[in-house]
Structure 1
Amino acid sequence: MRKLGLFVLPLLLAACGGTGLNIGQGFEMTAALTGTQVAVDVVNVYAKNADGSPGAYLSSRVDKYTPTAGTLKVEVRGGSLGFTAQKVTVKYTDASGNPLADTASTFNNSVAFTVPGGYTCPGGATTCAATDKTLTATTFSLPDLYWLSEQAALMAARGCVDGSSVIGTGYVCPEVRMNVTFTGKDSLGAERTLTIPQAQVRVYVNSVSDEVR
């Protein structure tokens, strides 16, 4: 019986990659979405005096808004399964978590990208036997992801002007947040979700001009 136990132990360690952790069976990764922005060009409107000079302040309006796509970054723990995303759902809120008013607060879209698992194989191969896998923490990045709907971008821009006071380039616009959920499958085909709570959308005044009428 003692000899049998000595024989079985190396087999168990081999199945675990020699580390005691079953490589590629867990699902541990953390995602972040950064760099999403909305630049807003504002026009301050003034009444015209009799001599043609600017008079009383009347209102402000959005002349143009320019969204910038963000970058997805996923930190994968060593030994984690990979993940193939198939769908993204984004819920837009203000900084307090309230849905954006006057707009569709949820955006759904199909996606297709794969986050590699947290291991490496000999010679840079993408797949290999469990006994050949080495636990390796990895970082996956995907740039130029525009998941801010046009309605949400417009509402974010309009939030910079309320018509009550003159807007300057230093004006702090209300924040917008995106709560992102990816659905898809892991390396073994099981359904998985990957979430990003409260991803910040930077909304700022890019330029200011005056209009006299």
Structure 2
Amino acid sequence: MRKLGLFVLPMLLAACGGTGLNLGQGFEMTAALTGTQVAVDVVNVYAKNADGSRGAYLYSRVDKYTPTAGTLNVEVRGGSLGFTAQKVTVKYTDASGNPLDDSAATFNNSVAFTVPGGYTCPNGATTCAATDKTLTATKFSLPDLYWLSEQAALTAARGCVNGSSVIGTSHDCPEARMYVTFTGKDSLGAERTLTIPQAQVRVYVATVSDEVR
């Protein structure tokens, strides 16, 4: 779930219950999931001639696929409340937004991480009185997030060999994307959601080999 040349595809989470970003009231973050990819090893299968030599091309198949976890990046606007994520829901789609596969359409899992609020305290303290807080834009990063289900990864890999021609390493595989929604609570305990609508998964042919049968 994925250039990894992966495009960073953020979504702004609008403030709820307030019109500004006064400290302790506003909630504004931009999230992106980058680096998710699926490397596919492809075998081109050929018929065997009577003399044992390679004959006509028959089809291509996936020999192996290797998923790579992505990294969550969150930019927090100065003055924004923090966010504690409790659950993640991932919907897998193709480039047109259609479900990637009926059996691999959605992934749900419990999570536990906290994005800090957009402020700093004197002397590097983690907590302080509201009057001592300085509005500061912050960044949060969480690597090695494997939110691409095995079935979704397999479906994406198989998409590389759905054609009827010989596959090479320059072959373009169909895109896969993840619609990611975090649910949790802000620093004041209010329910919040943080969404990444189109986190791209890079699917590509890593190696190609031939097989004669």
Please give the TM-score of this superposition, normalised by the length of structure 1: 0.89
CA contact (8 A) 2:81 2:116 kept: yes
CA contact (8 A) 1:17 1:133 kept: no
CA contact (8 A) 1:103 1:155 kept: no
The CA distance in 2 between the partners of 1:156 and 1:9, in whole Å, is: 19
Cα distance change of structure 1 residues 188 and 58 upon mapping to structure 2, 3 Å threshold: same
Cα distance change of structure 1 residues 188 and 16 upon mapping to structure 2, 3 Å threshold: closer
CA contact (8 A) 1:17 1:132 kept: no
1:22 Cα offset (Å): 2.5
1:41 Cα offset (Å): 0.1
Cα distance change of structure 1 residues 10 and 102 upon mapping to structure 2, 3 Å threshold: closer
Q: Where does structure 1 differ by over 3 angstroms across 4 or more consecutive aligned residues? A: 1-21
The CA distance in 2 between the partners of 1:25 and 1:106, in whole Å, is: 33
Greater shift in the superposed pair: 102-111 or 79-88: 102-111
1:7 Cα offset (Å): 52
User: Unmatched 5+ residue regions in structure 1?
Assistant: none
1:24 Cα offset (Å): 2.4
CA contact (8 A) 1:23 1:80 kept: yes
Partner of 1:18: 18
Identity %: 91
Cα distance change of structure 1 residues 134 and 7 upon mapping to structure 2, 3 Å threshold: farther
Cα distance change of structure 1 residues 186 and 14 upon mapping to structure 2, 3 Å threshold: closer
CA contact (8 A) 2:101 2:152 kept: no
Deviations 1:5-34 (A, max 9, x none): 999999999999999963121100010000
The CA distance in 2 between the partners of 1:176 and 1:9, in whole Å, is: 13
Give the alignment's Cα RMSD to 1 decimal.
12.4
Cα distance change of structure 1 residues 187 and 17 upon mapping to structure 2, 3 Å threshold: closer
The count of residues paired between Structure 1 and Structure 2 equals: 213
Cα distance change of structure 1 residues 123 and 59 upon mapping to structure 2, 3 Å threshold: same
CA contact (8 A) 1:16 1:131 kept: no
Describe how 1:51-200 pairs up with structure 2 within 5 A: 51-200=51-200
Cα distance change of structure 1 residues 50 and 113 upon mapping to structure 2, 3 Å threshold: same
Please give the TM-score of this superposition, normalised by the length of structure 2: 0.89
Cα distance change of structure 1 residues 82 and 16 upon mapping to structure 2, 3 Å threshold: closer
CA contact (8 A) 1:15 1:131 kept: no
CA contact (8 A) 1:44 1:60 kept: yes
CA contact (8 A) 2:36 2:67 kept: yes
1:101 Cα offset (Å): 2.5
The CA distance in 1 between the partners of 2:128 and 2:31, in whole Å, is: 26
Cα distance change of structure 1 residues 12 and 159 upon mapping to structure 2, 3 Å threshold: closer
The CA distance in 1 between the partners of 2:44 and 2:201, in whole Å, is: 24
The CA distance in 1 between the partners of 2:71 and 2:8, in whole Å, is: 47
User: Unmatched 5+ residue regions in structure 2?
Assistant: none
Cα distance change of structure 1 residues 15 and 131 upon mapping to structure 2, 3 Å threshold: farther
- SS of structure 2 residue aligned to 1:2: coil
Cα distance change of structure 1 residues 62 and 183 upon mapping to structure 2, 3 Å threshold: same
Q: Whose radius of gyration is greater, 1 or 2? A: 1
